[in-house]
Amino acid sequence: MQKVTIVGAGNVGATAAQRLVEKNLCDVVLLDIVEGLPQGKALDIAHSAHVLGVTSRITGTNDYADTAGSDIVIITSGAARKPGMTRDQLTGINVNIVSQVVAGAAQASPSAVILMVTNPVDAMTWLAIKKSGFEPHRVIGLSGVLDSSRLAYLISRELKVPVTDVTTWVLGEHGQEMVVIPRLNSVRGVPITKMLPDNVIATLVERTVGSGAEVVSFLKTGSAYYAPSAAVIRMAEAVLKDSHEILPCAAYIDGQYGLKDVCLGVPVRLGRQGIEGIIELDLTPAELKRMAKSARAVKQLIKQASAG
C-alpha cells in the first residue's frame, strides 16, 4: 500500500489524516515535534477503522525515520493566522519551520511528492523547492483547489443551485492578490457572467478573497481546517490514483503566462509524479496583467523567505 506522511498534527494535519485514512487509499504517518500529540491523534483515528470498515493503517511519530519511503509528504506545520492577520504576515514565522521540515522529509523520502499547505503557501512552495532540491514538478502548493471551492459555495448559495453543478477556477496568489476571472466560472457550462449582475459577482469575489479571514474572525483562536484539509486530500488523491486530473494549484512557473521563477496558482494536471503539465488558459492582456501583479506580490514574499 502507498504511504503518505503528514507533517504537523494540528487541526489541518490531523483532519487531513482522518480524511485520508477514511478513503482507504494508503497508510498514513502523522508527524509532529510535540511528543505524544501525533501518537495520540493517530491512535484515536486508528480506533475508528473497524467502525468505518477501512484497512489503512495510521501511526504517529516524532521521528522522520518513520516517514521513510513516503510517496507523498503533506506539510501543514507552521503558525496559523490570528484575527486581523494576513497570510503574508506569517512569512517570517514559518520560513524556519518549513525549511527544517522540508530538509527532514526530503532526506527520508527522496522520491516523494511534496504538497505544501503552510502559509503564505506560494512563497513556502517556492522555498520547499529550493530547500528540498526536488524537481519543481514534485512540489505543489494548496491554493486554487481551496479558493475555488469557497467561490463555488458562494455561487451555489447565490443562485440556489447544487454546489456540484458549479465549476470554478481561482488563480494567482493564495492571498489578497488572488485572481478571479468571472467568465471562467460557470454553472453547468453557463458562465456566471450570463446569470449574475456585475455588482453581485464583485461581492462574491470579495467574499472569496476574504473567506479565510472570515473563518479566522469567527474562530478567534485558530484558522480554517475542514476545507483546507479536504482540498489538499483532493490533490493527494489525484497523485495516489495517478488520475491526471486538472486542478488549480500553486506551481513553479518558468515561462508560462509570461512569468518566471515564481510559484503561483494555475491549472495543472496531477499524476503519480506530481505536476504532469501546466495548463495555459487563453487570457486577455488585462487578465495577464492581473496575473503579473499577483506574481509580483508573491515575489515580494519570496524575497522575504530568501532572506529569512
* Residue 308 confidence class, pLDDT cut points 50, 70, 90: low
> Could you tell me if residue 61 is left (phi over 0), alpha (psi between -120 and 50 degrees) or otherwise beta?
beta
Task: Please check the confidence at residue 241 and state whether its pLDDT lies above 80.
Answer: yes
Give domain limits for the chain: 2-141, 144-307
Q: Are 265 and 174 in contact (CB under 8 A)?
A: yes
Provide the percentage of residues in the chain whose pLDDT is more than 90.
91
- DSSP code, position 60: E
* Options 50, 137, 174, 244, the catalytic residue: 174
Instruction: Output the average pLDDT for the chain.
Output: 95
What is the topology classification, in CATH, of domain 2-141? Rossmann fold (3.40.50)
How far is Cα 214 from Cα 163, in angstroms, rounded to an integer?
A: 20
137 belongs to the catalytic site: no
- The string of pLDDT tens digits covering residues 98-120 is 999 999 999 999 999 999 999 99
* Residue 82 confidence class, pLDDT cut points 50, 70, 90: low
Give CATH for domain 144-307: 3.90.110.10
Helices and strands in the chain, H and E counts: 10, 14
Helix%, strand%, coil% for the chain, nearest 5: 50, 20, 30
Cell 478513503 identifies what position?
A: 23
> In this structure, which amino acid lies at residue 50?
H
C-alpha cell at 223: 484558522
> In this structure, which amino acid lies at residue 108?
A
pLDDT in the model for residue 89: 72
